[in-house]
Every structure is written in C-alpha cells, then in structure tokens.
Structure 1
Amino acid sequence: MTGQRSDARRNHQRILAVAEAEVAARGADASLEQIARTAGVGSATVRRHFPTRQALLAAVFTERVEHLCGRARELAGADDSRAALLEWVRALVDYAVSARGLADALTYEPPTDVPADAPDRHSCGGDLEAAAALLLRPAARDGAVGPDVTAHDLVTLAVGIALATEHHRDPAAQAARLLRLAIGGLSPAPAPGDR
C-alpha cells in the first residue's frame, strides 16, 4: 500500500512537471496525450490525477496564483484602497500576460448553482476572485470604484487584456497600455468650461 502511494505521488509530480513544460511551450491547448507520453504514464493515469483539463491547468498555475492571493491579503489593509487594488490588478495582468496558457485557463463563467464549499469551486479563477474581493470591498466603500464592479469583472478584464495582447509584438507593453485605458476610462471627464 505504501509503495502505491509513493508511486502515485511520483506520478503526480512527474505529470505536473511535464505539464508545466508543455503548457509553457504550447499554452492551454497542450496535448494531454503528449503529457502522458512524456511523463511515461498512460492517459488514464493523467486523468486519474487530473480528471479535467481545467484541473491540470489549475495545478500548473497554483503556485503563482497562491502568490497573487497572498499579495492581495498583504495589500488588503492598505490606507489607499484604490492604489492597493490597482497594484494587485496590474500584478494579475502582468502574470496573465507572461504565463502562457493562464488566460485560457481562466476563461470561464463561474457556476451559479455550485455551493461555495464544493470541491470544484476552488479553482485558479475562484481563488483569484476571492483575492480580488478582499481589495474590491474597501475600494468600493471608499468610492474608488463603481458599486457595480465585481471581482469577476476584474479577473475577466485581466484575462481579456492577456488574450488580446497574446500575439502582439510586445505583449507586456500593450497590456500595460490597455490596462491604463481601462483604469482611466475611454472618455476622461471634460475640464470645467469645456462642456
């Protein structure tokens, strides 16, 4: 029994290491069959450890997502709620642009009928939304963002920017530009007397 557990752990680690390399090279569409072949296991073994592509992608991105969630917790007590929220959103956009496949992994519509404590509810997207909410609540309370802005909106914005800039010559610079536009709004308020 103990041998099976250590074999399962080794398989899990090997599959995850191969998946990280494949996703880095090919993005979210990395072949599960190729991952299995490279890891030296069968497709059924991959599916036993990661029942869905989403589960595998979530595992690939978990460490960095945990870092972003930790950063949100650190920023949550900041005096300037707007600056804290924007710093975190910029970090999320930067990572979504630099981590090939993350934006694809986060393109989802959260389920409305899944209880908050259901196992499938805990995903990269769900974790990022919970982190965003920590910063969004004080920013909304302070009037730094509109009352109708949701944590899902923030994650969707980051995903959209990452997807839109994916094939740009300089994705990071273009993503930063688009985020500035989103933050500033497309139509800045007119100066007094310009009406």
Structure 2
Amino acid sequence: MTGQRSPRPLRADARRNRERLLDAAEAVFAASGTGASTEEIAQRAGVGIGTVFRHFPTKEALLAAVHERLLRRLGEAAERLTAADDPGAAFREFITLVAGESPAKNAYADALAEAGVDVAGLGGEGRSLVAPHLETLLLRARGAGAVRADVGFPELRALLIGVARAVETTPPGSVARSTVITVFLDGLLPPR
C-alpha cells in the first residue's frame, strides 16, 4: 500500500502551545512588523524557541500559518454572515472586516512572497470559504437594494484590492481608516 500517512493529531498541550504561538505571532507581527524575531514570539508565548521550531520549522512556516489562520477567520465570518437577516448590514460588516484585516493579510503575503513562497497556494480552507461567501453576500445585498446593480463579483474584488491598499496608509483604529472604509461602502450604494 502506497501513499502518504496523515499527520497524527496534536496532543492537547501541543495544540494549546500552537495556538498560543499563533496568538503571540499575530500580536508581535502587529506591533513590530513581519520582520520581528521568532525569539520575541517565543518569549511572548511563554515557550522556548525549540517549541516554536517544533511547530513551525521556519519563520516562513509561522508566517504562512498566521496568514492561513486570518483567512480562515475571514471565511468563517463570511459564512456566518450569509445567514444574517439584513443582507445590506451583513455585506457592510464583512467588507469592513476584510478592509480592516487587509493591512495584516497583505503584510504576511508580502513577507512570504519576498521569501519566495507561492502565496497564491496558501490560505487553504479560509481562502476557499471567502470567495463563494463574499459572492453570496454581494448577491443578497444587491437583491435587497443595498448595493448598486452594476457591481458584480469581479468589480467587487478589484475594488476591494484598492480599498485594502488604501487602508494600509492609515493608522489602525484611526478616523481616517474608518472614513476610507465608509466612503468605499457609500460608493457601492445604489444611485438615488
């Protein structure tokens, strides 16, 4: 019998360490950028550097895991919002979330690309959840009259890339960032 064996599930303590490392990496990367050291991440997580490398053999593997985790959270949020009672509010909430997370997502993707990692192949389950649910959110919002009829999924994707890069130029939590997102969303409203 040939084929690869599935990796064994992690023990409970190893799962907790992995999650603690991912939490710490997100916090450290947010504060210090993707160039932050794995030692700083280990210290923040309260584990030794050996634990970091047992879970993530390279810094790129850690960056990829944090990137994938973020995409999974976005995918789960999109999935949850497709069942919301108010399609317009659900669409706006998700777009606000995506725009707010874009600077981090783009920083991870840029750092991975610089390291020679094929970013298009990353994201796994999260990436596969986002696009179809985003399209559903768009169609529901358009059907409810909350988004202009001439905006389809290709246009929305292109516009999201623009707003994501625009948000990167504003400080987190700032009025400027909020205004950029609001103006973007207002531009998607049907003409009066």
1:16 corresponds to 2:16: no
2:154 counterpart of 1:156 = no
Give, as a single letter, the amino acid of the residue that structure 2 aligns with 1:22.
V
| Equivalent position amino acid for 1:12 in 2 | R
Instruction: Kindly indicate whether the alpha-carbon contact (under 8 Å) linking 1:22 and 1:35 is maintained by their aligned counterparts in 2.
Output: yes
| Cα shift at 1:178 | 1.8
Preserved CA contact (<8 Å) 1:18 1:35:
yes
Give, in whole Å, the separation in 1 of the partners of 2:74 and 2:32. Answer: 20
Work out the percentage of aligned pairs sharing the same amino acid.
20
**Bigger Cα displacement from structure 2, 149-158 vs 16-25:** 149-158
Determine helix, strand or coil for the equivalent of 2:174.
helix
Q: Distance in 2 between matches of 1:12 and 1:165?
A: 31
Q: 2:40 aligns with which of 11, 34, 37?
A: 34
- Which of 79, 85, 88 pairs up with 2:91? 85
Once the two structures are superposed, what CA deviation does each residue of 1:20-68 show, in whole Å capped at 9, x if it has no partner? 3313422444333432455313253242598351222333x46853663
Residue 165 of structure 1, CA deviation: 1.0
1:135-188 C-alpha deviation (Å, 9 max, x unpaired): 112345567242444353364245223212137xxx531123223333444xxx
- Match of 2:3? none
Aligned to 1:54: 64
One-letter amino acid of the structure 1 residue matched with residue 148 of structure 2 = A
Helix, strand or coil at the partner of 1:55 = helix
TM-score by length of 1: 0.59
Between the aligned partners of 1:110 and 1:134, the Cα distance in structure 2 is 25
Structure 2 Cα separation of the partners of residues 16 and 9 of structure 1: 11
Q: Distance in 2 between matches of 1:21 and 1:184?
A: 31
- What SS does the aligned partner of 2:61 have? coil
Structure 1 pair 105/162, CA: closer, same or farther in 2 (3 Å)?
farther
Please state whether the residue corresponding to 2:77 is helix, strand or coil.
helix
Q: Which amino acid aligns with 2:77?
A: L
Q: CA deviation at 1:73?
A: 2.2
**How many Å separate the matches in 1 of 2:129 and 2:22?**
20
Aligned to 2:53: 44
Q: CA RMSD in A?
A: 4.2
Q: Of 138, 146, 156, which aligns to 2:150? A: 146
